[in-house]
Chain A
Amino acid sequence: MSDISFFFVWINICKIISTLYLKRKVLMETPVEELSIEEKNIAPEKAKAIFEKEFMPHLDAMYNFALRLTNDEDDAQDLVQDTCLKAYRFAGSFEPGTYAKAWLFRILRNNFINDYRKKSRGPSKVEFEWVEQAYVGEEDAEPAFQADLKAETVNDMMGDEITKAIQALPVDFRMIIILCDLEDFSYEEMAKILNIPIGTVRSRLHRARAILKDTLADYARKRGYVADTLSEDGTIF
């Protein structure tokens, strides 16, 4: 067998192995909901063009979301890279004219849930379930408390107090606050990204904000932001 023929045989073996591996990896690791994104073959140049035109402008938003989810810069960079490569692979199934940012955020969120949450330094599922139970009322979603917090207090706060309070939220609450307040997604878009009903989006968002306000009120008391109003009865914080 000539050297050239041997080279082609070798390449073919590699191709078969890698195809089998990728298919197995896709089936084993891709979440059920993501399999609904059909992988359509398109020319690499076309995929690149879609990627640069539709996906690249959202890189900052993707990184910011990834950073809020992982609370770690290296993990956030890995998460964004994996999301970009996956988006490139599925670029054929992206319909130009649809909202690319929501499409990318859905892939990013699925990647996070499947790969990063397992090794996440953030709160565990058990912790989240505990919080969910703690804040689920009978019928109304309104938590039992009303945070003692004023608009002026929030305005006076430094950035790191707000970011710390968001980081302290359980990940599902953190996710919904970022999607809504920072990225301005509609309830319908958030429902698609998170794969939950709109009613759950509404109630989860409401609870997330209630916990956030409670945490900020606690910071404010500890840091003396509300000392003037609370000192009337002689209480010192």
Chain B
Amino acid sequence: MLSEKITDMKKQCEHQGDCMQLIQRILDKEATPEEEAMFLNKKEQCLPCKDGFELEQSLKKAIKEKCISKCPDELFKSIKAKLFILLAIISILIPLFCDQNK
């Protein structure tokens, strides 16, 4: 059934460059609903577009899943400590200057 469907599909896409750009805009949520609907309909009849869509989708998913790094705890603590010191210095020095100006 699936192979029959594939044999019915176009093997060449005459607008492959434009279609690839449209696929990326669809996956980036930058395409209009009309563009998206038109492409999703076309995808079922064009093998290069279907393959291209699946490839871009997989690539985006792989990047999202595999390129994540968590901020080290030491960095988190260090930033908080530096801000605390900065805040303490400001809180001590500003009243000091204000008192002196009076």
Chain A interface residues toward B at CB < 8 A = 8, 11-12, 15, 44-45, 48, 51, 59-60, 62-64, 67-68, 73, 77, 80-81, 84-85, 88, 140-142, 146, 149-152, 154-155, 157, 159, 162-163, 166, 177-178, 180-182, 186-187, 202, 205-206, 209, 212-213, 216
Contacts and interface: CB of A to CB of B under 8 A. Distances in A.
A18 to B, nearest CB: 10
B38 interface: no
Given A59-B75, A68-B67, A84-B82, 8 more contacts: A84-B79, A142-B21, A151-B57, A181-B60, A182-B63, A182-B68, A186-B30, A202-B21
What does DSSP make chain B's interface, helix, strand, loop or mixed?
helix
A52 to B, nearest CB: 9
Given A162-B62, A181-B64, A212-B59, A8 B100 contact: yes
B21 A85 contact: no
Nearest to A143: B17
B6 interface: no
Interface string B32-54: 00000000000000000001001
A146 B24 contact: no
Given A140-B17, A166-B67, A213 B59 contact: yes
B3 interface: no
A85 B82 contact: yes
A71 B100 CA distance: 49
B83 A88 contact: yes
